Amino acid sequence: MTQKYDLYALGNALVDIEVEVQETELERLGVEKGVMTLVDEERHDYLLGHLEGNIHQRASGGSAANSVIALAQLGGKAFHSCKVAKDEAGVFYSDDLNNAGVANTLQHLEDNHGKTGKCLVMITPDADRTMNTYLGISSELKEQDVNYDALAASQYLYIEGYLVSSPEAHQAAIKARNFAREEGVKVATTLSDPNMVRFFKPEIEQVLDGGVDLLFCNDDEALEYTGVETVERALEVLSQQAKQVIITQGKQGALSFNGEQNHRIEPFNVKAVDTNGAGDMFAGAFMFGLTNGLNWAETGKLASFASAHLVTQFGPRLKPTAVDELVQFAQKEFNLKS
């Protein structure tokens, strides 16, 4: 089949609300810092109403959505399967995804009864992000929500690790992975968050069963999943379950295995104010490079540049001026056409 999309993503659809808070606020409200915690809608709304901090503009979020939008901003072609309800937040999410130029499965919102998922992202002065997530209808993502024609016409399937927290979404991810393998579509996935590894490791192992082509994670997730003491050893262990592995390390850059040897991806030194979405941006830019002719070293450099620029601003998505800088960087460094 003729390839129409660089990347087909499967993930939770969440409307992100960012709030700048002090660490004492998290302690006061009993929020575990630096990880994603699943909460019900009542808890989400309680926290939002009781946090004292600067609230930022909403954005269509979810890990996979952030990555496919990053890829689209660079000029790539992406498709996203997710689920929102026919409510104000769902319409906002659908419009935001369409405006980003990402094809999707949100054409029939009138059939989706329930509430759109939302994520409260709390940013502390150290630029760390703490998330409390109400999944809403996104937890009901099913096999029927996968567009198999679009998936078959893609270079890669990208499975967001957060899906393993929902039994239905977890099964949809596995069926999509099996279909991708049958169609010769490469499979990439993420570990997503230390709490996903801590509480859903058996489900993650099922997604990785038989190996995947590319695995993304950060150092905390890698160490939690493998149970080893160093990132270098974790890379060795993970390379037994994925042909290629990327372990991001924040301001230290990333360590990677390209299928033949290890590579250090150098960081771009910046002053971070918000790390929300940095890993998603890295993955989206990396997937763009892989599917648009860049070699491994070039792809890593592009992803490092993109994620570094993202953390200098608030929000999980690059502003238009930053997108222009990113595109110009890619054109100059790698002779990429817009």
Sequence ranges of the domains in the chain: 5-14+63-114+139-334
Q: What's the confidence (pLDDT) of residue 57?
A: 80
- Residue 27: strand pairing partners: none
Instruction: Using DSSP bridges, classify how beta strands 186-190 and 212-218 pair: parallel, antiparallel or unpaired.
Output: parallel
Q: Are 308 and 273 in contact (CB under 8 A)?
A: no
Give the type of residue at 29: L
pLDDT tens over the chain, length 338 residues: 667 999 999 999 999 999 999 999 999 999 999 999 999 999 999 999 999 888 888 888 999 999 999 999 999 999 999 999 989 999 999 999 999 999 998 866 666 778 999 999 999 999 999 999 999 999 999 999 999 999 999 999 999 999 999 999 999 999 999 999 999 999 999 999 999 999 999 999 999 999 999 999 999 999 999 999 999 999 999 999 999 999 999 999 999 999 999 999 999 999 999 999 999 999 999 999 999 999 999 999 999 999 999 999 998 889 889 899 998 998 999 887 65
- Residue 5: strand pairing partners: 154
SS3 call for 133 = strand
**How far is the C-alpha of 65 from the C-alpha of 311, rounded, in Å?**
17
Alpha-carbon separation of residue 20 from 56, 62, 73, 129, 164 (angstroms): 8, 19, 26, 9, 28
Q: What's the confidence (pLDDT) of residue 108?
A: 64
- CA nearest neighbour of 125 among 180, 53, 73, 30: 53
Element (H or E) spanning 289, and its range?
Answer: helix 278-291
Instruction: Give CATH for domain 5-14+63-114+139-334.
Output: 3.40.1190.20
Residue 70: CA atoms inside 13 Å, Cβ hemisphere, count? 34
Joined together, the tokens standing for residue 254 give 């990333």
- Virtual torsion, Cα 271, 274, 276, 279, nearest 10 deg: 0
Phi, psi (degrees; rounded to nearest 5) at 233: -70, -35
Q: What's the confidence (pLDDT) of residue 295?
A: 95
Q: Are 183 and 154 in contact (CB under 8 A)?
A: no
**How far is the C-alpha of 40 from the C-alpha of 139, rounded, in Å?**
12
Is the C-alpha dihedral spanning 163, 176, 299, 317 positive or negative? negative
Q: Are 102 and 76 in contact (CB under 8 A)?
A: no
List, as one string, the DSSP characters of 179-205. HHHHHT-EEEEE---HHHHHHHHHHHH
